[in-house]
């Protein structure tokens, strides 16, 4: 196992920059998830670590050794692809042992490694089968087995669960987590699914438009998003945002919403008097009360079983509320809601977080 360090790593195609100055230290045994919308550069970053893409600038080290110019096979990493990328003309055992056979390991070593991996992944009954005779989940397991047998320094996962159906994805997610707990292998995992990121990661790297937005533990990103992008991207349904004007008082600041609602905050935020700010609140933190401060029109009611998502219109903007109170399933035209001040997030005009509530 190994540590991976990226220092000011960048990637550009000609003059077009797709990734700028990424700094990231991955500790031995850590499970780091790169998450972001498609096109944010997360897959490119992973492929640069794997050696499948050139690194335009900066340095990449694995276990302290600079590997920028090393071929993929000399970096001693294993990768699991979204499409699984199994060799269709080889059976499961041959797929898993291919790397060891290329390294001319002895037959006994190969057989032992394959049977250990297939035992861990429940692939024993399928060793003689070709990939096309396997289900999606089984193929995914073979792809992981192929990575495990090599005992590489690090595992790289490129959206490995995206081709599976929802139930299988959940199951494989748990399996990857269990496997990581068991093997303790340094892992870098790319996904656009923020639930996968939240559940698997020891640390999440949230990316957007080719740059890192925030690095932190999953709940850190959830509770204290560094900017509007992370606030909106992490969490489902996503955070609600309302624009307002900041009024500074002696003890605390107050945000005045467009229709004159005054929301006093618990602290003084570092913003100029009269500056426009964005308030954020997660749907599950919004409360419904008969004497609530804000009027909301009910647009749509979505029961999810676990709870209810209410689609509201507040100040002409769409606004979501999540509740487990089934009484709210009753059709009604309007509601009164409260935004508890200890649950509010405040962002300045450029989208950066201003206050920790």
Partner 1 sequence: MSHPEAVRSGAARKPAMRRFADAAEPWFYAAPVLTLIVAVMLVPLLLGLSYAFRDIQLLNPFSGAFIGLEHFKTLARDDAFYRALKNTLWWTGASVFLQFALGLVLALLLDKPFPGRGLAQALVFLPWAVPTFLAGLNWAWLFNPVIGPLPHWMAALGILSAPDNILADPHLAMWGPIIANVWWGIPFFAITLLAALQAIPRDIYEAAAIDGAGPLQRFLSITLPFLAPTIAITILLRTVWIANFADLIIVMTNGGPADRTQIVASYIFTQAFRRLDFGYASAIALVLLVLLLAYSMLIVVIRQRLIEKD
Q: Which parts of this chain interact with partner 1 (CB under 8 A)?
A: 50-52, 71-73, 77-79, 81-83, 85-89, 98-99, 102-103, 130, 146, 150
Nearer to partner 1, 90 or 209 (CB): 90
CB 294, CB 338: distance < 8 Å? yes
Nearer to partner 1, 48 or 354 (CB): 48
- Tell the smallest beta-carbon distance from residue 130 to partner 1 (Å): 7
Q: What is the spatial distance between Cα 13 and Cα 41, in angstroms, rounded to a whole number? A: 13
Nearer to partner 1, 104 or 167 (CB): 104
- Tell the smallest beta-carbon distance from residue 177 to partner 1 (Å): 23
Which helix H or strand E contains 343, and what residues bound it?
A: none
Rg of the Cα atoms in the chain: 24
- Tell the smallest beta-carbon distance from residue 122 to partner 1 (Å): 22
- Residue 290: both structure tokens together: 């008969």
Write the CB contacts of 147 (distance below 8 Å, at least 6 apart in sequence). Answer: 78, 79, 80, 155
Nearer to partner 1, 7 or 82 (CB): 82
Q: What is the DSSP string of 254-287?
A: EEEETTS-EEE-SS--S--TT-EEEEEE-GGG-E
Query: Distance of alpha carbon 7 from its chain centroid, rounded?
Result: 21
Count of other CB atoms within 10 angstroms of residue 102: 9
- Tell the smallest beta-carbon distance from residue 129 to partner 1 (Å): 11
Reading across the β-sheet that carries 240-248, which strands appear in turn? 262-264, 253-257, 240-248, 276-281, 345-347, 353-355
Q: What is the spatial distance between Cα 354 and Cα 350, in angstroms, rounded to a whole number? A: 10
- Tell the smallest beta-carbon distance from residue 235 to partner 1 (Å): 31
- Tell the smallest beta-carbon distance from residue 141 to partner 1 (Å): 15
Nearer to partner 1, 109 or 217 (CB): 109
Nearer to partner 1, 1 or 50 (CB): 50
């Amino acid at each position: 196992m190994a540590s991976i360090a990226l220092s000011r790593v960048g990637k550009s195609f000609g003059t077009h920059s797709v990734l700028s100055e990424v700094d990231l230290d991955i500790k031995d045994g850590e499970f780091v998830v790169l998450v972001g919308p498609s096109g944010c550069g997360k897959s490119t970053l992973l492929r640069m670590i794997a050696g499948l893409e050139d690194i335009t600038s900066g340095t990449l080290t694995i276990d302290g050794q600079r590997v920028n110019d090393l071929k993929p096979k000399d970096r001693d990493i294993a990768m699991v692809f979204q499409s699984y990328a199994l060799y269709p003309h080889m059976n499961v055992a041959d797929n898993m042992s291919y790397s060891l056979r290329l390294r001319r390991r002895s037959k006994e070593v190969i057989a032992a490694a394959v049977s250990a991996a297939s035992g861990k992944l429940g692939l024993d009954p399928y060793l003689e089968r070709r990939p096309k005779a396997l289900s999606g989940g089984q193929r995914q397991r073979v792809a992981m087995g192929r990575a495990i047998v090599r005992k590489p320094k690090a595992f790289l996962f490129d959206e490995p669960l995206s081709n599976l159906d929802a139930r299988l994805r959940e199951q494989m997610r748990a399996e990857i987590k269990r496997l990581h707990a068991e093997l303790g292998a340094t892992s870098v995992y790319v996904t656009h699914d923020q639930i996968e990121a939240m559940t698997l990661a020891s640390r999440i790297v949230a990316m957007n438009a080719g740059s890192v937005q925030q690095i932190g533990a999953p709940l850190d990103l959830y509770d204290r998003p560094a900017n509007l992008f992370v606030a909106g991207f992490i969490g489902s349904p996503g955070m609600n945002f309302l624009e307002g004007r900041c009024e500074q008082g002696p003890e605390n600041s107050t945000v005045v919403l467009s229709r004159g609602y005054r929301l006093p905050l618990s602290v003084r935020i570092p913003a100029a008097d009269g500056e426009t700010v964005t308030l954020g609140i997660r749907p599950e933190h919004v409360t419904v009360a008969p004497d609530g401060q804000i009027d909301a029109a009910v647009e749509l009611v979505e029961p999810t079983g676990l709870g209810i998502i209410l689609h509201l219109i507040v100040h002409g903007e769409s606004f979501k509320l999540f509740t487990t109170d089934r009484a709210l399933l009753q059709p009604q035209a309007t509601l009164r809601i409260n935004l508890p001040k200890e649950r509010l997030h405040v962002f300045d005009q450029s989208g950066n977080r201003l206050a920790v509530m």
